[in-house]
């Protein structure tokens, strides 16, 4: 995850430069002054009657200089909480290292209404940020979804990670709401957040339900969940939804072919006339040698067990009818269609 973000950030800056800055944006949030956060952190620690060692450590943490970015301020604050709360110390240690278990320890104490909101909100952000980096988006939103920017010391980070999690789960409205609030505070946010937020927003604007792009994203999310050991009812429903969407797409292709055949106009020219490349989202009509009949493939034949030669011929036809990077999606679809014919 970390290297992927680094790669995105490396090429995001030119896209950011093209953003239209003529629109006036007014944020409904602002980052708190570092001095105010330090003072509140010291007050929090004093209420827990720290020993001399804890006081000395607090002084070391906050003497390291004013944080250049708000995430560093959040980490300073988390280290302060670790001085006065053993559970916070364990959480800070967890978030400082890559995940080693499929299921990380849950932190129900962070949701305790008796916990100081100053501590609870910021530690929830720390933990949620870590879960996003580990691609555990559903779990991250359990801690991040209802937080507000004015309740944490890293408001831009909160909105960014909310946007990332919702974007990954294809929750478009919620993702756009978080990203728009982040972009409203462009001039008070880290540049890397703004650059990636613009890319995510533009990406979401082009997503349409039941297109191959939308289906491919859903299948990618299913693979992510399976890689995390999630194979329950929710994932099975998602798989069924993907199959249903692909059935609909194939039916649309058949209807277009039938309509073209029935029209009879342009006989002998039943192909694509334009020399321009087809859009990735367009369902191409026309029949050609070796065409795969979706009805035949949907008849219960075991796609995964086709002889290698026939299987490759079928895949070549798929490559001609669909963009090449959807080959895996289509192949996986037929595997799952074959599996649905078998009792679960």
Q: What pLDDT score was predicted for residue 118?
A: 97
Calculate the average pLDDT of the chain.
Answer: 77
DSSP secondary structure letter of residue 183 = H
235 vs 110, residue with greater confidence: 110
Same domain, 88 and 119: yes
Same domain, 166 and 113: yes
Same domain, 183 and 246: no
Q: Which domain holds residue 239?
A: 212-259+284-340
Same domain, 172 and 63: yes
Q: What pLDDT score was predicted for residue 212?
A: 74
Q: Give me the half-sphere count of Cα atoms (radius 13 Å) on the Cβ side of residue 251.
A: 7
275 occurs within a structural domain: no
Q: What pLDDT score was predicted for residue 68?
A: 62
Same domain, 326 and 200: no
Six-digit token pair at 240?
A: 């069924």
pLDDT digits (tens, 9 = 90+) for 131-160: 999 989 999 999 999 999 999 999 999 999
At residue 243 the predicted structure's pLDDT band, cuts being 50, 70 and 90, is: confident
Same domain, 167 and 309: no
Same domain, 23 and 164: yes
Phi and psi at residue 144, in whole multiples of 5°?
-100, -30
Same domain, 188 and 83: yes
Is 41:88 a contact under the CB 8 Å cutoff? Answer: no
Q: How many domains does the chain fold into?
A: 2
245 occurs within a structural domain: yes
Most confident of 204-218, 291-305, 306-320: 204-218
C-alpha dist (Å) from residue 105 to 118, 139, 206: 22, 11, 37
Long-range CB contacts (< 8 A, 24+ apart) of 101-109? 102/228, 102/229, 103/229, 104/131, 104/134, 104/136, 104/139, 107/143
pLDDT digits (tens, 9 = 90+) for 70-121: 889 999 999 999 999 999 999 999 999 888 777 778 899 999 999 999 999 9
Same domain, 249 and 140: no
Q: What pLDDT score was predicted for residue 81?
A: 98
Q: What pLDDT score was predicted for residue 255?
A: 78
272 occurs within a structural domain: no
At residue 4 the predicted structure's pLDDT band, cuts being 50, 70 and 90, is: very low
Q: What pLDDT score was predicted for residue 215?
A: 77
For helices 117-133 and 34-46, give the axis angle rounded to 10 degrees.
110
Same domain, 147 and 294: no
Helix (H, G, I), strand (E, B) or coil at 99: coil
6 occurs within a structural domain: no
Q: What pLDDT score was predicted for residue 100?
A: 78
Is 204:195 a contact under the CB 8 Å cutoff? Answer: no
- What is the secondary structure of 227-243 as a DSSP string? HTT--SHHHHHHHHHHH
Q: What pLDDT score was predicted for residue 335?
A: 63
Long-range CB contacts (< 8 A, 24+ apart) of 101-110? 102/228, 102/229, 103/229, 104/131, 104/134, 104/136, 104/139, 107/143, 110/143
Give the end of a domain, one of 185, 205, 225.
205
266 occurs within a structural domain: no
Same domain, 144 and 94: yes
Same domain, 195 and 296: no
């Amino acid at each position: 995850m970390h290297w992927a973000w680094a790669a995105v950030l490396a090429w995001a800056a030119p896209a950011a430069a093209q953003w239209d800055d003529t629109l006036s944006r007014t944020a409904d949030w602002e980052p708190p002054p570092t001095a105010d956060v330090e003072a509140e952190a010291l007050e929090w620690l004093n209420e827990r009657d720290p020993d001399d060692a804890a006081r000395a450590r607090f002084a070391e943490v906050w003497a390291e200089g004013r944080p250049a970015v708000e995430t560093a301020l959040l980490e300073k604050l988390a280290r302060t909480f670790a001085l006065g709360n053993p559970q916070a110390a364990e959480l800070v240690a967890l978030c400082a290292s890559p995940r080693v278990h499929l299921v990380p320890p849950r932190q129900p104490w962070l949701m305790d209404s008796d916990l100081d909101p100053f501590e609870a909100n910021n530690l929830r952000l720390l933990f949620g940020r870590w879960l996003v980096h580990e691609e555990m988006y559903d779990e991250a939103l359990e801690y991040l979804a209802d937080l507000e920017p004015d309740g944490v010391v890293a408001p831009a980070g909160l909105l960014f990670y909310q946007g990332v999690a919702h974007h990954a789960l294809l929750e478009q409205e919620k993702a756009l709401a978080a990203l728009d609030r982040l972009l409203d505070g462009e001039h008070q946010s880290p540049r890397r957040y703004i650059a990636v937020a613009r890319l995510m927003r533009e990406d979401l604007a082009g997503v349409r339900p039941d297109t191959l792009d939308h289906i491919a994203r859903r299948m990618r999310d299913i693979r992510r969940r399976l890689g995390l050991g999630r194979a329950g009812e929710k994932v099975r429903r998602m798989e069924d939804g993907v199959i249903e969407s692909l059935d609909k797409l194939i039916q649309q292709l058949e209807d277009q072919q039938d309509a073209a055949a029935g029209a009879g106009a342009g006989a002998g020219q039943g192909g694509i006339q334009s020399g321009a490349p087809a859009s990735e989202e367009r369902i191409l009509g026309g029949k050609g040698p070796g065409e795969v009949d979706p009805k035949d493939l949907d008849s219960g034949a075991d796609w995964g067990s086709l002889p290698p030669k026939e299987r490759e011929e079928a895949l070549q036809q798929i490559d001609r009818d669909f963009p090449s990077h959807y080959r895996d999606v289509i192949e996986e679809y037929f595997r799952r269609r074959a599996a649905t014919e078998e009792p679960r």
